[in-house]
Chains A and B, each alone.
Chain A
Amino acid sequence: MNKRVLLDCRHVWKLYGANAETLLANGRKPDADALAEANVIGAVRDVNVQIHQGEIFVIMGLSGSGKSTLVRCLSRLVEPTAGEIQFEGRDLLRASEEELIEIRRKKMGMVFQQFALMPHLTVLENVAFPLEIQGVDRATRCESAQKVIELVGLKGRENYYPRELSGGQQQRVGIARSLVVEPDLWFLDEPFSALDPLIRREMQDEFIRLQNMLRKTIVFITHDFDEAIRLADRIAVMKDGMIEQIATPEDLVQNPATEYVADFTRHVARAKVIRAQSRMEPATAERFAGEVAHDATIEAIADEVERADAPMKVVKDGEVIGQITARAVIDVLVGRG
């Protein structure tokens, strides 16, 4: 975890109500009672997150937990009441209107829950729109737009209007539009929440495929814990404007920091999260039935390991680092330990 920090957010607050600033004066940290007493709503309270280069950072929370406000603070769509946000080492909150426009034009992209497509523009025009705003000439922007349209699998639909597309297709346009400027930091605000479960699953696969190609730094908002676990490198769980825990999906499931997080993780299919290396034991067997990757999920190897008549080697970079037994796999599957 010694990767470069792209977005560094420290002690960020967003309070709604009169006199919100005075409550935070001199670095004070009012608790929930103090806020309620002052008739102030604490949408984001003292949040610290570091987003690393190339990771998928998921912010998970139920509606009203402040996750949408937090991501809008990070992109400065909403002005935080207090705190500090560094983007590529620059103070984002001190950036002037012009600088902010420049940063957003070149370095940030965002995908919205309700797609936010311009109804009067075709797919091609929508995707080219960010470039049009920047004054890029027509031929160049159409060429760039065409490329991302193909990337998201919408080739042949360039001249459709948003109203003529299904929800999943519309969100592909939204994704293409946010990628056309080749942003460094990619925000996705509940991008798949408005879609049907089947389409949602398909779009998640699509998202993983894209990320494997593009390796963007991603801040992904969702209220769906399964989605978070499926996509995230790290997850921040939010409740009442505060972050309960930041951890990898596996950590979160195995060591929930609070009762609230434990409530979420209790019903998660653990085999989908836990990886071979965390349930292996020293390689002591005389005979192995085969080998598995150290970061394979238990779900992926369960069938093979359980069927085998001997433990299997756990391999990392070609070296054997341990063994995993059918017993360990079954323990995970039935929820023991």
Chain B
Amino acid sequence: MQTPLRHITRGRLFWLGLFALTWLLSHYSFQLYKLLDARWIIRFPKALQLKLDTAISDFLNWLVNDAHLGLLTFRDLTRSIASLIEMPYQFLRNLLIEGFQSGLGDSAVQIAPSLSWIAVIATVVAIAHYARDLGLALLVGGCFLYLAVFGQWDSAMITLASVLVAVPIGAAGGLGLGIIAYRHTWFDKLLRPILDLMQTVPVFAYLVPILILFGFGPVAALVATVIYAMPPMIRVTILALKSVPEELVEAGRMMGVTRRQMTWKVLVPTAIPTLMVGVNQVIMLTLNMVIIASMIGAGGLGFDVLASLRKLDIGGGIEAGLAIVVMAIALDRSSQAFSERRMPHPRTGSWLQRHPWTTTVALIVLGTFLLGQVAPAVQSYPDVLKISTGAVWSDAMEWINVNFFDTLETIKTALLKALLLPVKKFFTGIPWLWGIIAVGLIAGRVAGWKLGFMAALMMLFIAASGLWGEAMVTLYLCGVSVFVAILIGTPLGIWAAQKPRAGRIILGVMDTLQTLPSFVYLIPVVMLFRVGDFSAMIAVVLYALAPAVRYAAHGIREVPPQLLEAGRMAGCTPAQLLWRVKLPLATPQLLLGLNQTIMLALSMLVITALVGTRDLGQEVYIALTKANAGQGIVAGLSVAVIAIIADRIVHALSDNQKRRLGL
């Protein structure tokens, strides 16, 4: 008679009780409020609300209008930064697409045309060949040719100009800050919490203050892009410098290097392969942000997508989206190749023999420049030869919608009814006071009472900012999306780990999915399911799927082979081996995957505000459209708060599990 009770340990009783109590309070909160006539149960009292948002807005107004730094006003400062960024950007735009002019408006005279499309393709092909081999050169060349043939050239070049300006600034800035942090511990300590926050605050949140400081336009977009793309470079730099072997540092010191020589002659050159991984991240994040920043005036492919989404122009959206995908693949593969590149042996011979590619590219640039004067087709890809696939995509979507509307609608309704709505009701019903206590209890139970207290305080900040309802919607959407992503991702990951051939394909697809800018995911979802929570969920699941798959595959693969042999010798069936040996040992990795999935889900969730969710992301988005910095930042911080609490809890779970397994 002891058997059924044996599994109810004190720990399980705690979780069961907590859930039951929360469910009851959530279910009956409205009745409770009516019964006690206490409105504060479901609404945070207005009188106690923090006025942080107006304070921030006032501060920014003061900064923009009144602040003086010595002789300069703050506005002068932002303007000079803006012009500093504007110059190289304008130059690249001229070089890649607009051509160089003198004079303004109608009286403008063209001095020199932009690089011809052939010259640009030749350049990227040469770079890709330099980075790896002919195969990569053909891939990258093919990608750029696609952009020309399918009529996306002009927008793509504007996007490329933004990337080319933002990447050097982000990479050099990240490298510099990383070096300072490596050298001075105090700077490192100062930087870490900022980096943590930067990684969790949604991108929209700092678009608003930048919009106010720099105005609407490409420069503001570039500033936002640099800020967004720099933190990973800082982290990678610190890590790369720290992982330079101690002996190399000692060797340098024994040769009598100065501090500067130590940095530039020993540490940085030795760390270059790792640093290039950081540059790859900067490039991909830059592309992602340049697309998103179309909302504050960056033109290019992002703007095309945004415009099509607004017009519900299905074909145009998919065309521009595919162009982004193509560009992302080209940029990712070539920058990755640079990080894997090994020093080749120097060629011998004359300058021309040593630099055959440089010479060829220079000749092509010159040749197409001269030919372009007489043959316009050489200068810019002829319109007649362009292929527009917009109509095809529109027709295809229409065909799907005509033939499968009912099926899609049934799936959508079923999932809404069975999963989304009940969960939404549960989360949004939780009275704020109990919500704060419950989060504190969960965090405390898992990660110690200090963190529990901190978590409760952070949740109180959300409630006191009057964003409790929005935060609960965020939790619900994030929770459901993560649940679905894990449900799909973990088995895929296990499959990938068990079957090498399937694994290569699955992980390859995941790699590509991860390089795509988040914006792209919205396009097919909106086409098929229109706006609403369901569409948002699908987009988030697609975006956040990759880490769930990867970490699961990694965790299963990393199980020590001698344990598998021990299991097999004990007579485990393959299923038993998976459930009894592999999965338990992989749990720390699975939990880390869960953590990454949550982080990606939260960052994507904010972007899905565009398809009409009613969560914190929407709050940030509204703030963006109204240029209300305070509202945007407070809502952004609330998202960050949720991300930080989730991160600490899941990390603690993973650590507990590792300790239990003795890893």
Report which A residues bind B (CB closer than 8 A): 72, 75, 77, 100-106, 108-110, 112-116, 118-121, 129-130, 132-134, 159, 161, 163, 178, 181, 187
Contacts and interface: CB of A to CB of B under 8 A. Distances in A.
A75 B247 CA distance: 14
B254 A161 contact: no
B336 interface: no
A129 B248 CA distance: 13
B256 A105 contact: yes
Contacts of A108: 254
Contacts of B248: 116, 118
B43 to A, nearest CB: 53
B345 interface: yes
Contact of A77 (B250, B342, B346): B250
A112 B256 contact: no
B243 to A, nearest CB: 13
A120 B272 contact: yes
B269 A120 contact: yes
A116 B252 CA distance: 9
Name the 7 nearest CB pairs between A and B, nearest first.
A105-B256, A104-B256, A116-B251, A116-B247, A110-B254, A130-B255, A101-B256
A115 B251 CA distance: 9
Given A105-B256, A116-B245, A159-B345, A133 B265 contact: yes
A64 B145 CA distance: 62
A133 B250 contact: no
Contacts of B245: 114, 116
Given A133-B261, A133-B265, A159-B346, A116 B250 contact: yes
Nearest to A132: B265
A240 to B, nearest CB: 23
Nearest to B247: A116
A121 B248 CA distance: 13
B81 interface: no
A204 to B, nearest CB: 21
Contacts of B254: 75, 77, 104, 108-110, 178, 187
B258 interface: yes
Contacts of A113: 247
Contacts of A109: 254
Contacts of B342: 161, 163
Contacts of B270: 118-120
Contacts of A103: 256
Contact of A112 (B250, B258, B272): B250
Contacts of A120: 269-270, 272, 343
B251 A112 contact: yes
B16 interface: no
Given A118-B266, A119-B270, A161-B343, A110 B250 contact: yes
A106 B270 CA distance: 24
B257 interface: yes
B256 A133 contact: yes
Contacts of A104: 253-256
Q: Is the interface of B mostly helix, strand, loop or mixed?
A: helix
Contacts of A187: 254
Contacts of A105: 255-256
Nearest to A102: B256
A171 B245 CA distance: 16
Nearest to A77: B250
A77 B253 contact: yes
Contacts, number: 64
A163 B253 CA distance: 23
A192 B418 CA distance: 69
16 contacts: A100-B256, A101-B257, A105-B255, A110-B251, A112-B250, A112-B251, A116-B251, A120-B269, A120-B270, A120-B272, A129-B255, A130-B255, A130-B256, A133-B256, A159-B345, A178-B254
A129 B266 CA distance: 10
A118 B269 contact: yes
Contacts of B346: 159
Interface in B228-269: 245, 247-248, 250-251, 253-258, 261, 265-266, 269
A195 B256 CA distance: 27
Interface string B260-288: 01000110011010000000000000000
A134 B250 contact: no
A104 B250 CA distance: 11
Contacts of A129: 255, 265
A116 B257 CA distance: 15
A150 B45 CA distance: 84
A163 B343 CA distance: 10
A112 B255 contact: no
A214 B269 CA distance: 33
Interface in B266-324: 266, 269-270, 272
Identify which of A129, A133, A161 gathers the most chain B CB atoms within 10 Å of its CB: A133
A72 B343 CA distance: 32
A161 B342 CA distance: 10
A133 B255 contact: yes
B280 to A, nearest CB: 18
B40 to A, nearest CB: 52
A105 B253 CA distance: 9
Contacts of A133: 255-257, 261, 265
A209 B605 CA distance: 70
A181 B270 CA distance: 22
A161 B261 CA distance: 21
Contacts of A161: 342-343
B175 to A, nearest CB: 16
B247 A114 contact: yes
A114 B247 CA distance: 7
B307 to A, nearest CB: 46
A133 B263 CA distance: 12
B247 A101 contact: no
A154 B258 CA distance: 29
Contacts of A159: 345-346
Nearest to B273: A119
Contacts of A134: 256
Contacts of B345: 159
B263 to A, nearest CB: 13
Given A77-B250, A101-B256, A110-B250, 13 more contacts: A100-B256, A101-B257, A104-B253, A106-B256, A110-B254, A113-B247, A118-B269, A118-B270, A129-B255, A130-B256, A159-B346, A161-B342, A163-B342
A130 B261 CA distance: 11
Q: Which of B250, B251, B257, B258 has the most CB of A within 10 A?
A: B251
A101 B258 contact: yes
A297 to B, nearest CB: 34
Nearest to B346: A159
Contacts of B250: 72, 77, 110, 112, 116
Interface in B532-567: none
A144 to B, nearest CB: 14
Contacts of B343: 120, 161
Nearest to B253: A77
A103 B247 CA distance: 19
A120 B255 CA distance: 17
B347 to A, nearest CB: 11
For B245, B256, B261, B269, the residue with the greatest tally of chain A CB atoms inside 10 Å of its CB is B256
A102 B257 CA distance: 9
Nearest to A187: B254
A121 B254 CA distance: 18
Nearest to A183: B254
Nearest to B257: A133
Nearest to B259: A97
Contacts of B269: 118, 120-121
Nearest to B272: A120
A303 B251 CA distance: 46
A121 B265 CA distance: 11
A74 B254 CA distance: 12
A22 to B, nearest CB: 24
A159 B345 CA distance: 7
A146 B248 CA distance: 22
